[in-house]
Structure 1
Amino acid sequence: MALGVAGVRVGTWTSPDGVSGCTVVLPPAGTIGALAVRGAAPGTREAAALGPSGKVTVCHGVVLSGGSAFGLASADGVMRWLEERDIGYRLRTGVVVPIVGAAIVLDESVMVRSARPGPDQGYAACAAAVTDDPPEGGVGVGAGCTVAKVAGLEHAWRGGQGVAVRSAAGVTVGALVANNAVGEVVGDDGRWIARARVPADAPRWPTDGRLLGARDDEPPGGDDGPEGVPTGAGQAGGPSGNTVLGCVVTDARLTKRDAHRVADLGHSGLARALRPAHTESDGDALFCLATGEVTASVDLVAHLAAEAVAEAVRRGPLLAAGRRGLPGLADGH
């Protein structure tokens, strides 16, 4: 069962060269949706509508995509797929308008146009969506992800897409997370899972005031371009954007306000698993989709969400294989 919740389907598209991809979450009819952003460099679609003050309550689909801002176009394909199946808000004119939330990570497809997820790729991910457990590692939105970039990209690890499910007192919460964080990954026991491949006492951002490799004339920390692209430090040799994206799905019956609170508190899972988290160079964003089958307190759902998000953050890199010059933890290091 996809993310442990009945009626939820997940589909992925991965570029043939493994540079990028997108992942779509399709909930059952009537699902309440919300979005919470804590990163300072996000790239999103329908953020205002799905935010706490937005009038929209029902969400018809969520797409997490690579390609930086270009990847937001994948939501157009998701909308087309949903409209063809008469799924969305019905206007008085009879036209159906799907509400599709989207968020993006910056990966190498910014420099490889043919690998950028767009409308056709979003559509393909929908066509591939199933109720089975989603794949993990370097697939879908996780294909181009990297983590532990605090000492520069050249010392990083491959990130990826991770999934985790938590249940208690009759309610279930599942999380799908794409880990493209600048931070290093730490386990629940405090042991490092994915740490920059430099000596333990080597300088690391942000405590050294700048990323290693920054130009001498660059101010500490550097300036950020679109979607968390540092304009100087760490940019040589490949992608350097940083973001953790996720979608939390629950069978709990939540209001729009409750769903936003679950998405917001779900970010606690990022802080548990990453050092540092929610930085100026991260575009961290979490969606919450509530299908409304089970009565549960928002505190319980938020607690389970944080736990599931933390595990999913860790699983993405753990299950990612090395490629394109960077090693992966799945290689057996």
Structure 2
Amino acid sequence: MASQMIVNSEHGSIVDVPGLQVGHFTLSERLTGCSVVLAPEGAVGAVDVRGAAPGTRETDLLDPANLVDKVHAVLLSGGSAFGLDAASGVVRWLEEHGIGFETGYGRVPIVPAAVLFDLPVVRPGDDPKARPQAEAGYAACQAASTAQPAAGNVGAGAGACVGKLFGLDRCMKGGIGNASVRVGPWVVGALVACNAVGDVIDPASGQVLAGARTADGTGLLDSQRALLAGERGKRPLPGTNTTIGVVATNATLTKAQAKRLAMSAHDGLARSIRPAHTPLDGDTLFALATGTEASPADLMLLTVMAAEATALATLDAIRQAQSIETTGGTVPAASAWQPSDKISHL
């Protein structure tokens, strides 16, 4: 009898994969932060970058042709390139706990990282130069656990926004979200921080959940339709967006197989973000395989599960987000914004 797929986006997450923990840290000085996925026993790691403007750390070592086959944490951070500094705090925390790659001269923690651009999101009274630094990464590790992670305006998703193709004044709130999918003995979980230049779509209905609003503020524009119809707006600078995340499984995989998992996870972004993988985004997804399930891996099934979990985690990020007040005005969230019936259908 065939196994039934069990999807869990409201109460599931990447920590449903045995061997992983998640911790968030959100700055009080400005709406930004970082999130860490810890793999204390190590996990086979891979990465796939599809956006044209990524901000990353330690991604070359994840190439299947390179030596190190396991990582000990993955960091997702706000703060643009400044946020990469938070990885130093993760490294320090892991070293203090005796976790890392054994060199004979000490253990060296392997911590790949990716950042998103949230620098324009400043609330009244915020310090615009506050960014996640080493202390933030360390604090995220201290907060890490196997409990269901928070979602929405926390960690790497604190300052995330979506729908920016027609100007920041018409965007909506993004965030960070969770999901997991189970089939038979395998589980695939995802953690996604959505800061896309495009809109977020419900793949099941085709409905735009959050994205660029119409110029009069009465509805959702549908950025892709607007572009195809010839409409042009205020384009954000390249690299000022990005969706980043981690997809993980309990399966036993090689680095090459984990790479395939990361590649397939991007299908989930393409289903839930429109347009995705643009020249203005730095879309980056990491894959982790903890190997706690010894059964021979069904890679075909796992790649399908990875795409599904990633899409669901992206939707969860948007549904859990909360509206914010910035120096430029209100950035509404899908959970609170009530547009009129005057939706633009180009």
TM tier relative to shorter chain:
0.7 to 0.9
Q: Tell me the CA shift for residue 30 of structure 1.
A: 3.3
Tell which deviates more after alignment, 264-273 or 296-305: 296-305
Distance 1:267 1:2, change over 3 A: closer
Tell which deviates more after alignment, 73-82 or 314-323: 314-323
Q: Give 1:305's aligned residue.
A: 306
Q: Tell me the CA shift for residue 200 of structure 1.
A: 5.8
The yes-or-no answer on 1:10 pairing with 2:14 is no
1:70 to 43, 64, 82: 82
What does residue range 163-312 of structure 1 map to in structure 2 within 5 Å? 163-188=178-203, 189-198=205-214, 206-207=227-228, 211-213=232-234, 224=238, 228=239, 241-294=240-293, 295=295, 296-312=297-313
Distance 1:7 1:158, change over 3 A: same
The yes-or-no answer on 1:87 pairing with 2:99 is yes
Q: Give 2:5's aligned residue.
A: none
Following the alignment from structure 1 to structure 2, what is the Cα–Cα distance between the partners of residues 252 and 312?
20
The 8 Å contact of residues 162 and 313 in structure 1, kept in 2 or not, is answered as yes
Q: Normalising by the residue count of structure 1, what TM-score does the alignment of the two structures yield? A: 0.88
Q: Tell me the CA shift for residue 319 of structure 1.
A: 1.0
The 8 Å contact of residues 19 and 108 in structure 1, kept in 2 or not, is answered as no
Following the alignment from structure 1 to structure 2, what is the Cα–Cα distance between the partners of residues 210 and 78?
44
The yes-or-no answer on 1:19 pairing with 2:31 is yes
The code of the aligned residue for 2:137 comes to G
Following the alignment from structure 1 to structure 2, what is the Cα–Cα distance between the partners of residues 267 and 114?
32
Q: Show CA shifts across 1:212-270 (max 9, x none).
A: 136xxxxxxx863xxx1xxxxxxxxxxxx110000011101100100011011100000
Q: Tell me the CA shift for residue 282 of structure 1.
A: 0.5
The code of the aligned residue for 1:167 comes to R
Q: Tell me the CA shift for residue 194 of structure 1.
A: 1.2
Following the alignment from structure 1 to structure 2, what is the Cα–Cα distance between the partners of residues 201 and 114?
32
The yes-or-no answer on 1:327 pairing with 2:332 is yes
Secondary structure of the residue aligned to 1:27 is: strand
The code of the aligned residue for 2:301 comes to L
Following the alignment from structure 1 to structure 2, what is the Cα–Cα distance between the partners of residues 175 and 168?
15
Q: Tell me the CA shift for residue 38 of structure 1.
A: 0.6
Q: Normalising by the residue count of structure 2, what TM-score does the alignment of the two structures yield? A: 0.84
Q: Give 1:116's aligned residue.
A: 131
The number of equivalent residue pairs is 310
Following the alignment from structure 2 to structure 1, what is the Cα–Cα distance between the partners of residues 181 and 130?
34
Q: Show CA shifts across 1:44-89 (max 9, x none).
A: 0011111333322100000000000010000000000000111101
Secondary structure of the residue aligned to 1:267 is: helix
The 8 Å contact of residues 140 and 161 in structure 1, kept in 2 or not, is answered as yes
Q: Show CA shifts across 1:5-58 (max 9, x none).
A: 122110000011451000000014131111111111000001111133332210
Q: Show CA shifts across 1:71-118 (max 9, x none).
A: 00000000000001111011122x111000100001127984552001
Distance 1:78 1:300, change over 3 A: same
Distance 1:166 1:41, change over 3 A: same
What does residue range 140-179 of structure 1 map to in structure 2 within 5 Å? 140-179=155-194
The yes-or-no answer on 1:97 pairing with 2:108 is yes
Q: Give 2:44's aligned residue.
A: 32
Distance 1:292 1:203, change over 3 A: closer
Q: Which runs of 5+ in 1 are unaligned?
A: 215-221, 229-240
Following the alignment from structure 1 to structure 2, what is the Cα–Cα distance between the partners of residues 80 and 181?
31
The 8 Å contact of residues 211 and 223 in structure 2, kept in 1 or not, is answered as no
Q: Show CA shifts across 1:258-295 (max 9, x none).
A: 00110111000000001100000110000111110222
The code of the aligned residue for 1:140 comes to G
1:45 to 32, 49, 57: 57
The 8 Å contact of residues 34 and 287 in structure 1, kept in 2 or not, is answered as yes
Following the alignment from structure 2 to structure 1, what is the Cα–Cα distance between the partners of residues 31 and 212?
21
Following the alignment from structure 1 to structure 2, what is the Cα–Cα distance between the partners of residues 168 and 285?
25
The code of the aligned residue for 2:177 comes to G
